[in-house]
Amino acid sequence: MEPQARTLVDISGSHAALAGRADMVLERARWAAEVFQRYDRESTMAIADAVAAAAHDSAERFADWAVRETGFGVAAHKKLKNQLTSRPLVDFYRNDDYVNPRIDEARKIVEIPRPAGVILALTPSTNPIATLNYKVLISLMTRNAIVISPHPAARECSVDAARALGEAAMDAGAPDGAIQIIENPGIPLVEELMVSPKTSVILATGGTAMVRSAYSSSNPAIGVGPGNAPVFVDSTADIDKAAKRIVESKSFDNSALCTNESVLITLEDVDARLRRSFKQAKAYICDADDVDRLRRYLFHDRGFNIECIGRDAAWIAQECGIRVPDGTLVLLAPIAQIGVEEPLSREKLCPVLAYHVVKRRNQAITQARAVLRLAGAGHSAAVHAMDEQVAMAFASAVEAYRVVVNTPCTQGAAGFQTALAPTFTVGTGFYGRSSIGENIGPGHLVHWTRLAYNSDASEYFGNYRGLKPGFSGPLPEAPSDGVPGSNGYRARRAEADAGVFSGVTREELRRMIAEELRAVLRK
């Protein structure tokens, strides 16, 4: 083991030091959350708007930085994701009030909002800044404090982005400590944060192992499961549009989003037309030898080849020894079967799309169900059809809670080309062993205390118009100096450990990513 790696182990191994550090961060966040709960809606939304503006203005800089640091994706596409998780996200929820009491005079019920408190947010290497923006903003809109644990492979860009958002929040009046980020993340420290009683809820976006760890922490957790979205192209579809939209989706950010299409299923009577349309849309259709090369390169004894994550189609083709035309966006890989025997029917976070042909619609639906049994249960699926009965039959049969119709699945299931809630945390519901089946938004970070009066019409119901919740006791006392303030930069630790990850090689970072994704992209 290299000296830097030994240093990482030594530092991570001090349980008492890690527990103390986690407690200091969470105590600052707890104080900020208690202060934040006293803010009115106007002040709360002013803070959210200021942070959204800062995220939007820096979208391009952090997109370039994320690609440079992680090696994943397309900068122009990451810029768009960063923008979509800024002002448009706040605008989507602008008319939702998570601050004032809700009064239902007909039912004689008053609902008082109760923010969660301290949100622990885990962010991935594949979509680091967009996920960070989204989790920060849904926390602020609900008057919660947030502590971010970035993926080590995206640490530098994430820390700088969180600092910028923290500055914008505090300049707009947010309490110090409402936004913090762990500057040198590691699994032992994250585990301390997850099990602490000062953590109110964990927002986990990452590999299955990390999500399961969050669920078993004893704290409430909201996690995203793995994707493996099937897409069915029916004979009633607009074939040219379907091919164009699927290529647009599968090539978007080089398939770094888990909502991208993984296996396409179509019918014999439209197979030839669909292949022609895919060629026009800049997809390369692999022959049998190409498919064999892809299969061997993408999957090995340890599972999926993580070197391919977020790489473009031309790069993957070159690594496989496949010659493709200039400008190729997607590699289409025809497969004869779907199941554990065919690795290409598993999730692939790269622009490689498995292509399977069947004779009848009921077979197509059966095969789509089989794709989700391999992985991705509860996640996402797509159908291209002009016949609404086909769409209904497909959506009713597949075990997915998002089925997008005639739209790119990557953008549609994430709520950016549909009216679904825009999100970077996709609830997989009962099918995916989760308690939430919808796209996660601010409403999941606030619960409501309900004042419920006697329903007898003769019983008096009070006049609650204009009343505000009372608070018990004086303003809580701020933590002492030396506790990390917002993002750990206004009140520095004396024992700051900056540079712990300096000198870590790209190979070591790739190994960290492999650990995160091993359970998701399993054999």
Residues 104 and 218 in one domain: yes
Instruction: State the Cα–Cα distance between residues 234 and 274, nearest whole angstrom.
Output: 10
Query: Are residues 301 and 171 located together in one domain of the fold?
Result: no
In single-letter form, the type of residue at position 441 comes to G
The whole-number pLDDT of residue 210 equals: 65
Query: For residue 42, which amino acid is it?
Result: E
pLDDT at 199: 96
Q: Verify that 132 and 242 share a domain, yes or no.
A: no
DSSP codes of every residue in 316-359: HHHHHT----TT--EEEEE-S--STT-GGGS--SSSEEEEEEES
In a domain, 63, yes or no: yes
pLDDT band at 218 (very low <50, low <70, confident <90, very high): confident
Tell me the average pLDDT across 140-156. Answer: 96
The beta-carbon contacts of 244-247 under 8 Å, at least 24 apart in sequence, are: 244/277, 244/281, 245/384, 245/406, 245/407, 245/408, 246/278, 246/281, 246/330, 246/353, 246/382, 246/384, 246/408, 246/409, 247/278, 247/281, 247/282, 247/283, 247/329, 247/330
Whether 61 and 27 share a structural domain = yes
| Residue 424: per-residue pLDDT | 92
Q: What's the CA angle centered on 117, arms 35 and 158, to 5 degrees?
A: 95
One-character DSSP codes across 44-56: HHHHHHHHHHHHH
pLDDT > 70 fraction of the chain, expressed in percent and rounded: 87
Does residue 465 lie in a domain region?
no
User: What is the 3-state composition of the chain as percent helix, strand, coil, each rounded to the nearest 5?
Assistant: 45, 15, 40
Domain count, the chain: 2
Q: Please check whether residue 266 is in contact with residue 233, taking contact to mean a CB–CB distance below 8 angstroms.
A: yes
248 and 382 fall within a common domain = yes
CATH code (residue 445): 3.40.605.10
Give yes or no: residues 233 and 171 share one domain: no
CA distance 424 to 427: 10
Domain assignment of residue 432, yes or no: no
**239 in Cβ contact with 233 (< 8 Å):** yes
This prediction's pTM:
0.88
Determine which one of 157, 258, 308, 350 is catalytic: 258
- Is there a single domain that holds both residue 42 and residue 126? yes
Asked if residue 418 is part of any domain, the answer here is: no
Tell me, yes or no, whether 192 and 258 share the same domain. Answer: no
- On whether both 359 and 493 belong to a single domain, the answer is no
In a domain, 469, yes or no: no
Q: Is the pLDDT assigned to residue 509 strictly greater than 70?
A: no
* Residue 258 annotated among the catalytic residues of the structure: yes
Q: What mean pLDDT, rounded, does the chain reach?
A: 88
Which pair of tokens denotes residue 441?
Answer: 């938004």
Domain of residue 351, CATH code: 3.40.309.10
What confidence score (pLDDT) does residue 518 get?
A: 46
pLDDT at site 16: 73
pLDDT digit string (tens) for 362-382? Answer: 999 999 999 999 999 999 999
Q: Residues 253-277: what's their mean pLDDT?
A: 96
Indicate left, alpha or beta for 450 from its phi (over 0: left) and psi (-120 to 50: alpha): beta
pLDDT at 438 over 90: yes
- If asked whether residues 67 and 203 sit together in one domain, one would say yes
What is the layout of strands, in order, in the sheet containing 109-115?
102-104, 109-115, 446-452
Residues 180 and 301 in one domain: no
Pairing of strands 303-304, 378-384: unpaired
Residues 382 and 365 in one domain: yes
Contact 231, 371 (CB under 8 A): no
The per-residue pLDDT for range 321-366, each reduced to its tens digit, is 999 999 999 999 999 999 999 999 999 999 999 999 999 999 999 9
- Tell me what pLDDT residue 393 has: 98
Residue 422 belongs to a domain: no
Q: Is residue 111 part of a domain?
A: yes
**Residue 237 belongs to domain spanning:** 229-413
Q: Hey, how many other C-beta atoms are within 10 angstroms of the C-beta on 468?
A: 12
Q: State the average pLDDT over residues 435-446.
A: 95
Per-residue pLDDT tens over the stretch 50-60: 999 999 999 99
Strand partners, 113: 448
CA of 375: how far to CAs of 229, 359, 371, in Å? Answer: 9, 24, 7
